[in-house]
Structures are given as C-alpha cells and as structure tokens.
Structure 1
Amino acid sequence: MNKTIFITGTSSGIGQATAQYFEAQEWNVIATMRSPEKQNILKNSERMLVLKLDVEKPETFNEVIEKAIAHFGKIDVLLNNAGYGQHGLFEATTSEQIHRQFSVNLFGTMEITRALLPHFRAQKNGSIITITSGVGRVTVPLVSIYAASKFALEGFCESLSFELASQNIQVKIIEPGNIATNFEQTTKSNFAADEALTDYSDYLKKMDEVFKGIYSGGGSTAADVAATIFKAANDESNVLRYVVGSDLQPLIDIRNGGTDEQYMDVLRSTFVPEN
C-alpha cells in the first residue's frame, strides 16, 4: 500500500510544492488549505485529495481527518506547514496580531498534531514533520513575534519527540533559511509599523538595505524544501532537525560552535549599525 501524507497549508509555497513532490513520488497526498476554491494548481486525483481545513478551527479537524482516512485507508505522515510571518517593529505590533501569529503558527500546529495522534498510536507508527524556520534557531531584527512562535515550535517538537518515541512515532523538524517563495511579499503586506514611532526611522532604513542584500543573495526553492521533507519522511534515524539552505547552516554553526557572546557579536555586527 502506498504511503499517505497529510499536509496543512498547501495553497502556495512550500506546502503546494511538497504536495506536488510527494504525488510525483507516488505517495497519496491529503492537501489541506483554508480556501480550496481560490486555487487552481492542486486537484483531486487518484493520489491527491484536496480538503478544506483552517488550523484556527480545531473543532473541524476530526471530520477532515476521518474523510482523509476513509479515502486512503490510513495516514503515515503529518506535515505541519501552515503558517505565516508577522514581521515589523515589536512596539508597533498589536495584541491582535501577536495572538493570531501564535494561533496559526503554534496553537494550530499543536491542535492538528493532537487530533492525529490517536490514529498514529492505533497503527503503532507515524511521523510528524513540522516546518519551523531559520529564525527558530538564529534570530534577526523585525521578526520578534514570528521568531517567538518558531522558537516555541522548536521546543514543542523537541520535547514531543521523546514522549512519542515510546509509541514508535517519529518527530522531525525542517528549518528553512531564505526561500524563494511569495512569503517575503506576504509579510510585507502586514508589516507592523507606526508612523508615530519616528525614533526607529533611521534604523528601519538601514535594516531595509541590509535585508535587500540578504534577499538578493538568492536562496533555496520550495522544491528544495520539499525534497528535504521527503528525505525526512523516509528517514528512520533519530535525526531531529534538517536544515535547508547554505545561508543558514553557517549561522547555526556559529551558534553551536562558540560562546553566546561570540554568536551575538557576529549578529550585532550586521544588525546593530554604528551611529
């Protein structure tokens, strides 16, 4: 029997690319998204089932999971991909924006994971793969809320990996660096700013130039991430974290290879301009 993956957030970017990649590898794919009617890329087929799912509505999860299992017989892998980036000045970020960031990125992931665990325990195997981010390990300015949600996901998954090992359920983390998707454009559209906070004006201009330089250096593609997810889904080792992108690994090496002061000095040299 072909294996089946259940993916959240497949309307675009990494989720969409991963759904296509796994289907091409002859896996069954449950591709979930908030508004299936608004996309025309992923279609129901012999190996693909497109379902409506909003990670902020856990009361709907059991019904969607039941449909998926009824269609393909079982689920082998859960890919927690749904999420977005709330960027901007922390001081300009509203309480509503903060709560929604955690509702989608963290609480939604926790709830869909909880909803699928009984199925994995019943079949005595399964894998939970979660997309975090490079900023879940190495932070940069203007992503404090997003980074906080991703740091929380890292801690959640690492702790969960120990208890679920007792149930023969694997936990894996995918950490993308700079990825060429529409993610950057999406974050710009809801960038937290406040014109009254003029004290930050010079800093924001300087950071705009810094990030333009970072993004202009290119990065991995959504297909690269999908290939890494496929590797993780088939990897029976105890590897927890999979880094995607040559831009991210050197920073993680600095963080892991020296003192905290040395690591912070490296990042401050880029993100704390001299006056």
Structure 2
Amino acid sequence: MQKTIFITGASSGLGKSAAKLFQSKGWRVIATMRNPENETELNKLNDVILLPLDVTQQDQIISVIEEVTHLYDVDVVMNNAGYGLIGVLESLDDEQIQRQITTNLLGVIRVSKAFTSHFRERKSGMFINITSTFGLIGYPMCSVYSATKFAIDGFSESMAYELAQFGIQVKIIAPGGMQTDFAVRSMELGQHDAYEKLTAEVSKGYSAEKLSNYTKVEDIAEIVFQSATDNKNQLRYIAGNDANLLYDERIKYSAETQVQNIRTNFTF
C-alpha cells in the first residue's frame, strides 16, 4: 500500500529535496508551501500534491490538515518549515523575535497538534521534526534561533513519550550546514556595532569556502528517508559530517569551557 508524507516548507532546500526523494521511492507526497503557484519542479511529478500553507497562520493550518486527513491516511509528517534569525540579541527587535518563534516553534507545535488525533485514531504515524545542530549546541549570534530549535528538541522528546502508547513515533533530524541557499533565502540578519569583532569572527562560518564544505542537501534528505523507514526506536539523528564533529566536541568539552574560550578571545 502506498504511503503518504506531509511536508511543510517544501518549496526549496531540504523540504523540496525530501519531497523529490520520497516521491522517487513510491510515496505520495503532500508538499506544502506559502506560494505553490510559483513551484516549477514538484508540480511536474506524479503523486505530488501541492497545497498552500503558511505555518504562521493557525486557521490555515487547521483547515488544510482537516482537508488532507479527510482525503488521505497520512503516515509521516515532516515539520520542516523555518528560517534562520542571526544576530546578537541586542540587534533584534521584538517583531523579529516573535516572527522567529511563531514560524520555527509554534508552526511545529500547531501542525503536530492538528495531526495528533489523526495518528491516534489510526494507532500509527510518525512526526519527523527538523531541528539543527544549533538545537543541541548554543552558538554566538544564534540565541533566538537556537531557542526555537532547542525548544523543538524538547517538545519532540516529550511528545515521543506522550504518543508512544498509541503507536506514534517522533523523530528529530539535527542537520549541520547544508549546501543550499539558506544563508541568502532563509536567513534574517541583525547588526550591532558593539559586537563588531564577534560578528566578524562568526561570519567566517558563512563564507563561500565554508559553505562549499557543508553536506549536500540530498544527503540530509536520505537521512530523513532512513529515519522514516528504518523501523528503529531512535529519537535523534545527527545529520552531516560537521554536525557530528560539533556534537562530539560538545560532549568532550563542556559548555562552560567553550564560553570561557569566547570570554578570553573577545574581552575588551
């Protein structure tokens, strides 16, 4: 029997790559995005259904998911929609902070809630929530972004406990850097003169040379597919070479040690 995956943020990057991969494996893909009328690739594939969905709009989340679950038995929900907000906290205004939390965190919570009864009644289903290495490790200039990703990690673990009794799984994919246009398309920047030295240092991580060494988005999509089909009771998947190196470093060296290194290097 053909399986169905529902993907948020499928217009580009990991969402689009995952949609293509699952479709190539014989799945029905419900690919959602804010402006499906602008999509020029997924609309040409068999068994791909494009639907409009802005995860900041709760009413639209409810109506779209009610429509989808009335028509299809959804097997997997991939909560992927999100963007990066990069900048020291002092550089960000309240509107930017609220928009980041609404998109990256509340979007995941609301989509998950809307699907939970569908999965519970079927006694099966899986949520795959896309976090980030920065949902496991704090990083300068990523405080609000990391807050949303750390929160998704905790939300996902808690939901995994809640839903296990109904045969529902929750999995977390924590990618490191990916070779996409995320840094241009899906990143918002804040600037503050008092942090000029730190900003210059952190910006080196987004150089063209660094980006070229990131993991291919297709390889991360393969890990998403693996998580959906490996029949493992595994909660977290650290995705990408740099992600594994960073996570291993965090385990080896405490957060306190890393903060002390920054304090030493950037004290004025």
Give the one of 187, 193, 199 matched to 1:198. 193
Gaps of 5+ in 1: none
Alpha-carbon distance, 1:199 to partner = 2.3
The 10-residue stretch of structure 1 (143-152 or 200-209) with the greater mean CA deviation from structure 2: 200-209
Deviations 1:172-223 (A, max 9, x none): 00000010111111355x3112xxx432223323332354387245111211
Match of 1:166 in 2: 165
Match of 1:25 in 2: 25
Change (3 A) 1:88 1:58: same
Q: SS state of the match for residue 43, structure 1? A: helix
Q: Does 1:130 align with 2:125?
A: no
Q: SS state of the match for residue 9, structure 1? A: coil
Deviations 1:32-71 (A, max 9, x none): 0011112212116541111011111121223322433454
- Is residue 32–residue 53 contact of structure 2 (8 Å, CA) maintained in 1? yes
Match of 2:223 in 1: 228
Q: Percent identity?
A: 37
Distance (Å, rounded) in 1 between the aligned partners of 2:113 and 2:129:
13
Change (3 A) 1:216 1:69: closer
Match of 1:79 in 2: 78
- Is residue 87–residue 187 contact of structure 1 (8 Å, CA) maintained in 2? no
- Is residue 77–residue 127 contact of structure 2 (8 Å, CA) maintained in 1? yes
- Is residue 9–residue 82 contact of structure 1 (8 Å, CA) maintained in 2? yes
Distance (Å, rounded) in 2 between the aligned partners of 1:211 and 1:7:
27
Map 1:58-97; keep pairs closer than 5 Å: 58-71=58-71, 73-97=72-96
Distance (Å, rounded) in 2 between the aligned partners of 1:53 and 1:123:
24
Give the one of 230, 234, 238 matched to 2:233. 238
Deviations 1:233-257 (A, max 9, x none): 1122221000111111122123224
Q: SS state of the match for residue 171, structure 2? A: strand
Match of 1:103 in 2: 102
The two structures have a TM-score, normalised by structure 1, of 0.90
